[in-house]
Amino acid sequence: INRTPPKTQAALLEAMQERHVTVGSNTYRLPSPFFVLATQNPIEQEGTYPLPEAQLDRFRFNIVVKCPTAAEELRILKQTTGSEEPQLRPALTGDQILALQEVVRKVPVAEHVFVYARDLVRATRPNEEGASEFARKYLSWGAGPRAGQYLILGAKARAVLSGRFHVTTEDVRSVALPVLRHRILTTFQADSEGVTPDQVIQQLLAKVPVAVQERARKLAKGVN
pLDDT of residue 213: 53
**Mean pLDDT, rounded, for 135-147:** 93
pLDDT of 92 above 60? yes
Does residue 157 or residue 21 have the better pLDDT? 157
Which pLDDT tens digit goes with each residue over 170-221?
Answer: 999 999 999 999 999 999 999 999 999 999 999 999 999 886 555 556 555 6
Q: Count of alpha carbons within 13 Å of 81, Cβ hemisphere only?
A: 6
